[in-house]
Structure 1
Amino acid sequence: MQETPALLVLENGSVYRGTAFGYIGEAKGEVVFNTSLTGYQEILTDPSYAGQMVAMTYPLIGNYGVTPDDNESSKVWASAFIVREVSHIHSNFEASGSLEDYLKAAKVMGLAGIDTRKLVREIREKGAMRGVISAIDLNEGSLREKALSIPEMTGQDLVKTVTAEKNYVLEKADARYHVAAFDYGIKSNILRILQNCGCRVTVLNAATPVEEVLKLNPDGVFLSNGPGDPAAVGYAIDTIRALAEYNRSTRPLPVFGICLGHQLLSLALGAETYKLKFGHHGSNHPVKNLDSNKIEITSQNHGFAVKMDSLPEDLEMTHLNLYDQTVEGVRHRSLPCFSVQYHPEAAPGPHDSHYLFDLFTDMMDRAKN
């Protein structure tokens, strides 16, 4: 097989030489790394990776192929995929094809053959950086100029690029609850778990105004994961703040947020957010539940976090990241609103945190009575 040379050039001028696979062309975005051992298809199709090129720390990727059942959305959202070695053969009774063909069909570029350990060390030391991968322009200076021209992640509202164009309903036979779920980049497994918990789910475009939400008369509101800078999604923050006011003035309406939804809820309730140096991306992050003192191994994918010292008096921290002591969960002291920074639905990842969906349904039960 003839290999096609390709370059990754970061905004600071660092150059990584490898070979292209999947779609042959050029790609750009913020370069981040993911420490998961498996789950590359779920990672690629997670809308939270919009605008980012993902480097996997595990050295061999692609050996079990791809299957439609592992998609977390309708398309690949990562702008490129970076690996140490891509497997050109796959073995899995469920596989419908190879990773390489999957990326080619999605017109997403892959880069293999670079020293991913060196790349990860550089990102950890210097922070996530913008970069360009190209198999058609191999001029290092030109690629660095292109990298520097990419908008920085801070200040970007990427939710509008990933949210559902129209609202839709996922029915559930004998549903006990009706949940209005804001789609800021929602993953399929979140919807599956909500349905398995007895929920009929109305999935909402991210810009749906609060008046339309309340017309649905839901039992609860879910705030999903998503990409970009939470502070830039002002319309979502305003809607969540209005939902909190509805809670105060009218009736209890439980609100549960994860990942970007957690950041948006925190902003709406008076906290602040900031950009992490290189983010949290992987399925092995230890988080301490401050109520139970138990440690949960969690799946994470985010580049921003809630400032601990910005939490207002009526917002208490419930979970703590044991890697870097960042906020991993909050709840309001009087309103039925809570959120976590990590992904309790996993996919890929452990199931330690599935109990949070039960907390949400319990909260909806109490609100009904």
Structure 2
Amino acid sequence: MPDKQPTPEQITRWRRYLANEQAEAAAYRDLASRRSGEEQEILLALADAETRHATYWVNQLGDAGTPTPKPDVKTRFLGFFVRRFGSVFSLALMQAAETRSPYDDDADAPRHITADERIHAEVVRGLASRGRERMSGNFRAAVFGINDGLVSNVALVMGIMATGVPSQIVLLTGVSGLLSGALSMAAGEFISVRSQSELLDASLPDPKARDALHELDVETNELELVYRARGMSEDEAHAKADRVFSKIRDHKKISDNVLGTAEIQGAGSARSAATFSFISFAIGAIIPIIPYIFGVEGIPAAVISLILVGISLMATGATTGLLSGKPPGFRALRQLAIGYGAALVTYLLGLAFGNIVG
């Protein structure tokens, strides 16, 4: 217990710190239970650190630390999310929680705890980055493809609807927008990935070149030129070539990536990328035309369409926010504003065009 008795305001604040530290320690342990190896060790070490912080506030509070306080709403939500999912999204939320440490502006918080929290944010950022790298590229493509389908087709549907044409025409236009957009996305993704693969293939060493290594003149050391052409310094290339020739003289096996193939990574399947782009765009693009599919017409159809699109836009925005470790609420509202903004522009253009034609 500190020599000077804390004020009621300090007690309230310290109790909140204690509750949040305990909740974060529990969240790290929950995450660790879903991991193994090095990641599990790191998460358990973070949990131990949060427990040490909680112990500090227990000592500061003394009898005022009981009964055990409850964490704030954000920390409780974080714990709930971690217990239910335990994925890269949870790590992203933990990253955001560590980044917004309340200790920075609090003179009562020891500097070593403030510094710990800053370092914790970087540790979690590293773990979250691992998760993002492991996350399927198809999943990321699906999120962005759905968003593209939502925005482009709701803008198209609202623009056509504003011209005053019958609902059947709006539906046909929406279906056409879905198919043309999905096919365009798929074709573009296929060409992009296939072209990238072809470029990477052009950088791969010829397999026959590896077989020729045993016949090279050791004195002229042509292999050194290969390594220098691939970006090594003259000294590095010379040292590596010497090691390779030493293995050849000793009749030892040389690795398959002796010519630098380990640095070349594939671009993925063009067919898979195209399929995911088509499906994800189509999923997003069908949402604006759902009311028209079920026979709803006029303003009610437009309102239902905008509500469905708005919910979907906020979901994709929140998802990208979570993946990037940023506040999901702001990203959700930003996505909503962009989608509705595009729909408003095309609606006004449709009104203008309808008036001119009419």
State the TM-score, normalizing by the size of structure 2.
Answer: 0.25
State the TM-score, normalizing by the size of structure 1.
Answer: 0.25
Which structure would you say has the larger RCO, counting Cα contacts within 8 Å and 6 or more residues apart? Answer: 2
Structure in which a larger fraction of residues adopt strand: 1
